Amino acid sequence: MNYENILITIENNIATITINRPTKLNALNVATINDLHKAFKKLDKNIEIQVIILTGSGEKAFVAGADISEFAHYSIEEGTKLAAEGQEKLFDFVENLKTPVIAAVNGFALGGGLELAMACHFRIASDNAKMGLPEVSLGVIPGYGGTQRLPQLIGKGRAMEMIITAGMLTADDAYRTGLVNHVVPQAELLTFCNDIASKILKNSPYAIGKAIKAINANFKEGKNGYETEIKAFGKCFGTQDFKEGTTAFLEKRKAVFTGK
């Protein structure tokens, strides 16, 4: 499948998606959102792919924001549709994938870029990263889940201040507040992400998918996270991965999981 604005490499069951609009600092436009949706959907269905790393091309930006030139003239109805379709196709879609997605945040992650990073299952930042949701400085608010995910990750007070001041966090500030899991030198970013991905590869893909679903349930309205966990826990008992994992443990050997 050919993509207009992204590149995909696959090695050792790890797929790396690179948003490739360097002249626009990898800004998200509708075409890029569509490319990402198709890529994530295809990779999530591929049983050989067990981890996805998402990053931006170049050293300046992960994603510097949404492409403002594309929606500056929109009406109320068009703006509402833009947010709804974007959340459905990409941001909510990524959050609910069964394949874990690591955001490798290199440089700026602003607006829709930070919202995309927050939709990933966790984030690793380069030491030159800068993160923020500056939408109110443009007369609009975050529309791709930013007002919901940022408070979940760093707390209501910090998120409120960050959004209504349109302020930016350094990589160290992002680490201190829990927005990112690690900060590493930019030259080591992808290597570090691949090292974490390699640790994930050792575990049951089926169980990982169920763990993601159970964790997400705690943050979804109308969902009981504990009930989701109980059901997911029970389903694991009917899998080949469970039989392999427990047998390998008892036989004191490394498990070989198939994701089934």
The confidence score (pLDDT) of residue 165 equals 98
The confidence score (pLDDT) of residue 221 equals 87
The confidence score (pLDDT) of residue 146 equals 98
Domain ranges of the chain: 6-201, 205-250
Amino acid at 53: I
The confidence score (pLDDT) of residue 69 equals 87
The confidence score (pLDDT) of residue 122 equals 98
Is the domain 6-201 a CATH 3.90.226.10 member? Answer: yes
The confidence score (pLDDT) of residue 2 equals 84
Q: Looking at the annotation, which residues are catalytic?
A: 115, 135
The confidence score (pLDDT) of residue 1 equals 74
Residue by residue, pLDDT tens for the chain (260 residues) are 789 999 999 999 999 999 999 999 999 999 999 999 999 999 999 999 999 999 999 989 999 998 888 989 999 999 999 999 999 999 999 999 999 999 999 999 999 999 999 999 999 999 999 999 999 999 999 999 999 999 999 999 999 999 999 999 999 999 999 999 999 999 999 999 999 999 999 999 999 999 999 999 999 988 999 999 999 999 999 999 999 999 999 999 999 999 99
Structure tokens at 109: 């992650």
